[in-house]
Amino acid sequence: MLNAGKAVKVSIYVSEGATHHGVPTYSSIIDFLFYRGISGATVLKGIAGFGADHHMHSAGYVEISHHLPLKIEFIETKEKVDEILGKLEEMAGSGMIEIQETTVAKPARVSKSKKMAPPAHLKIEGKAKMMRIYIGEVDRWRDKPLHTALVEAMRANDIAGVTVYRGILGYGAHGRIHKDKALHISHDASIMLSVIDREEKLQAFLPIVEQMVEEGLVVLSDVDIIKYSYRAMEVESPEATGSGSSSA
């Protein structure tokens, strides 16, 4: 949470049509900022503008352009911005990032007591770690299923990959049996998330897991990577990655 005093304002300018790993760039950046514990961020949409390609983009009444400039803006401490700046530069692609010194006169405060929100990918070979997270299907985090929030947090923090499994029979610390029946699907089944990545990546992610998982089991195991491969992403077209910056 921000305190009154010196801070920096970061403005990231991207095109509405730009993507990062197949997801709209602005959405990927917002997810990353959210799961890194940034105090707050806003996406502003321009109605007209041009960028480095010097092409004019504007929104008309009949046809809405998909290449209008977007501005993602947030205010944070300089130390925290320095920690994430490298990743933001990579995600912004051909977009522009502007940083200005500012002063927080009055920081925003949450209306009621809540837990704080929790605060790049290499080929893995040889020794690694497997993290398993056991939770309940009904567990939630900030009004969304906990397993969904964990997957989003892992993606935002460049964890190599995660698979979510739904149990068909089991029991936990409370000793209650949870099972699927032919005519009845349990709404409190066991959920297991399985993740494999480098030990340092998973250890760095553990504090976020500890904040999000209030009741559950988290275990780490040694594994040997025999083969790790993935299909290469398609190269994005210049039209999709073009960025416009407004003068606002």
Domain ranges of the chain: 5-109+237-241, 126-225
Pairing label, strands 69-76, 5-15: antiparallel
For residue 85, give every residue at least 6 positions away whose Cβ sits within 8 Å of its Cβ, in sequence order, or none. Answer: 97
pLDDT tens sequence for the chain (248 residues): 678 889 999 999 998 888 998 889 999 999 999 999 898 899 988 776 555 555 554 544 434 445 678 899 999 999 999 999 999 999 999 899 999 999 988 887 766 655 555 444 455 567 889 999 999 888 999 888 999 999 999 999 989 889 999 887 656 555 555 555 544 444 567 899 999 998 999 999 999 999 999 888 999 999 888 766 555 554 444 444 443 333 33
Q: Tell me, what's the pLDDT at 244?
A: 39
Q: Where are the alpha helices (DSSP H) in 98-160?
A: 146-156
Q: Do the Cβ atoms of 141 and 230 come closer than 8 Å?
A: no
Which has the closest alpha carbon to 101: 71, 84, 80, 78? 78
Task: For 184-217, give the DSSP string.
Answer: B--SS-EEEEEEEE-HHHHHHHHHHHHHH-SSSE
Q: Tell me, what's the pLDDT at 183?
A: 41
Q: Do the Cβ atoms of 178 and 167 come closer than 8 Å?
A: yes
User: For 126-225, which CATH class?
Assistant: alpha beta
Domain spanning 5-109+237-241 has what CATH number?
Answer: 3.30.70.120
Q: For 148, list phi and psi in degrees, rounded to 5.
A: -70, -45
pTM for the structure as a whole: 0.53
Q: Tell me, what's the pLDDT at 238?
A: 43
> In the 8-state DSSP scheme, what is residue 244?
B
> In the 8-state DSSP scheme, what is residue 172?
-
Taking the CA atoms of 240, 241, 242 and 243 in sequence, report the sign of the dihedral they define: positive
Task: For 32-77, give the DSSP string.
Answer: HHHHTT-S-EEEEE-SEEEBTT--EEE--SS---S--EEEEEEEE-
